[in-house]
Structure 1
């Protein structure tokens, strides 16, 4: 008498066996590398994640950098709100100042980013990164957008302080998303500017001196503290070629609802960020020589 046929294996058991075989294959051979257009976003994201991992080990930078914008709002903003010395189009000066301080704090974080890349050169990290398949463009873009994320965290701190002080800000999600994009683009440009200078001067001391020399002129030659209309003619010309002015204009229009030129603002920020990434990428090789 013949034996009864074996019962068929459940489909779930077959699926589990197939997955186990696939895991074994991955252990024996690495997965295929991403190629073409998929490689660049993956490398940019990886470099950005590496930069942001540093915040897990030392968060004091975020806390200490929150002190300066708080002082600007508490002392400078409150004082000039009471004396009515600067025409702001009918809005309180503290409200007018808050977007400018957001842009200022973001710029101050990004403008010294070149010091970090010089430190990586001195520690031998940059040389190891440059011999990997990661394109220089992706390396610089990852660092630039990591600076933007750090600046975005700083912007949240400033917005919270401004809200506590009674500044009338919008809480529209789409407008806040636009604020985040403007902060990231502006920070990407200034971090690339810093890394470009690092590729020229090659030392931390020189870069720190140049960074300190240009941050305050960039800040005061913008519309962060006062309208462009009250500036002398030569300063108005500088303000029109200063990307910080366009960032502040976008932030002020989004957060306060004042008249702004959002299309032009974003266009300038995108072009400035793209140009900054291109120049910094071309100068990166000088740091590794």
Structure 2
């Protein structure tokens, strides 16, 4: 006998809307895990204290080291403290984001991550979201301190719109580097290997960027490396904001070896960097959380 087919069975299947209850549980789990990280920070505040003191030392010591540098090296009427402040802002945020995988790695090694993975979570991605929120919060705290300290040292203070743009740029670089660090935390066998990657990566990316010196000061091969470095694409827009009260998305920000790059291009490169990193770590996250 032929069976009758309901018309609803032939209707095209539409994507189901997210369950509001599941979304609320995800937010609750993320906030709880984020709170756990801040409680750990409260018990061991040395991480935040060191993250604030170190850039202050950079501003003071490097500023004093290059006080007598030729004035034309950094631009007309620009002293090295003004030039250095954007580099310190970005590098501090980058260093903190690069360390984002360490708490997750320690949770792996001590067995806490396995307990979370077998817990009835609405989504295991709340673990990643909590770590990201935590690192972004620390980066913004450090950024505010550095901006205030650099202003006190004579670097000046951007206007409100400029400060908002700086916050956006810091957010973009922190998101990409945090995602990369979390991916390494799930891919590498232990914290020794992760710390080794951090040490090997940190200083070379600093010196192969425009954090400490302009492109024109570098050897030609290093200019190409610096012009491909994601840190440079965060540093130069912030530096342009510091040096220019008036700016727009079409303002020429950096003279790369292959041509001038404007503000919009620099932001687009940072966004593309974030998307590429997120795509690269998706297999690792699916294998761990799927």
- String of CA shifts for 1:2-57, please: whole Å, max 9, x gaps: xxxxxxxxxxxxxxxxxxxxxxxxxxxxxx96268888777666655554454333
Q: Who is 1:59 aligned against?
A: 45
Residue correspondences, number: 255
More helix by share: 1
Question: Which of 126, 143, 161 is matched with 1:174 structurally?
Answer: 161
Instruction: Note the alpha carbon deviations across 1:193-220, whole angstroms, 9 max, x for none.
Output: 2222223322101111111011011111
Q: TM-score, normalised by structure 2?
A: 0.77
Alignment partners' CA distance in 2, 1:96 and 1:69: 14
Match of 1:252 in 2: 239
Aligned partners of 1:221 and 1:242 also within 8 Å: yes
Q: 1:223 aligns with which of 210, 227, 231?
A: 210
Q: Distance in 1 between matches of 2:272 and 2:28?
A: 23
Is there any run of 5+ residues in structure 1 with no aligned partner, and where? Answer: 1-31
Aligned to 2:141: 153
C-alpha distance after superposition, 1:160-210 (max 9, x if no partner) = 21112111221x222211111211221121222222222332210111111
Task: Look up the match of 1:194.
Answer: 181
Larger Rg: 1
**Counterparts of 1:140 and 1:187, CA distance in 2:** 14
- Answering whether residue 92 of structure 2 is matched by residue 105 of structure 1, we say yes
Unaligned ranges ≥5, structure 2: 1-17, 246-251, 254-261
> Cα 1:53–1:275, aligned 2, differ >3 Å: closer, same or farther?
farther
TM-score by length of 1: 0.77
CA distance in 2 between counterparts of 1:232 and 1:277 reads 33
Q: Which deviations, in whole Å up to 9, do the C-alpha atoms of 1:101-129 show, x marking residues without a partner?
A: 01111111111221111111123232243
Alpha-carbon distance between aligned partners in 1 of 2:271 and 2:35, rounded to the nearest angstrom: 22
Residues 164 and 232 (structure 1 numbering): CA distance in 2 closer, same or farther, change over 3 Å?
Answer: same
Partner of 1:72: 58
